[in-house]
Structure 1
């Protein structure tokens, strides 16, 4: 529930960040509009870091360093 204009601005900014940096786009061959930092493959088992967006409504995953 949005409680104020400031809260709405914060929620929208977070969604725009997710939309442009984390969410794959079919029209871009499942890439993101803002490119991610490339990761050098290793022989180690990758560990993943999760980030909850919009109070857990969306989950983002990335390989932890």
Structure 2
């Protein structure tokens, strides 16, 4: 649990926004069966959000990415990796 500082409504707004994003993009689509299941689901979602999901404010890069990736070669295909039973799709350039 993260406590927001007292008398700082802006901090609370950021926390509420994050909770809403996780709920809309992940938890509203799954039936959570217990604390261990919730931990596994949230860990997978947080990993995707920070390492793979493109963010507009970062020029379509992920927050923890290692920098800009080179553009794909013409004619190469992409490989899809499903996470959370197909709820999340991640794409990588095929070798």
TM-score (structure 1 length as normaliser): 0.79
34, 38, 55: which is aligned to 1:8?
38
Deviation at 1:64?
A: 2.2
Q: Does 1:32 align with 2:62?
A: yes
Change (3 A) 1:29 1:39: closer
Computed over aligned residues only, the root mean square deviation of the Cα atoms, in angstroms, reads: 2.1
Distance 2:94 2:79 in 1: 5
Q: TM-score, normalised by structure 2?
A: 0.57
* Corresponding pairs, count: 64
Give unpaired runs (5+ residues) of structure 1.
none
Q: Which has the larger radius of gyration?
A: 2
| Structure holding more strand per residue | 1
Q: Would you identify which runs of 4 or more consecutive aligned residues in structure 1 move more than 3 Å? A: 36-43
Structure with greater helix percent: 2
| Residues 52 and 36 (structure 1), Cα distance of their counterparts in 2 relative to 1, 3 Å cut | farther
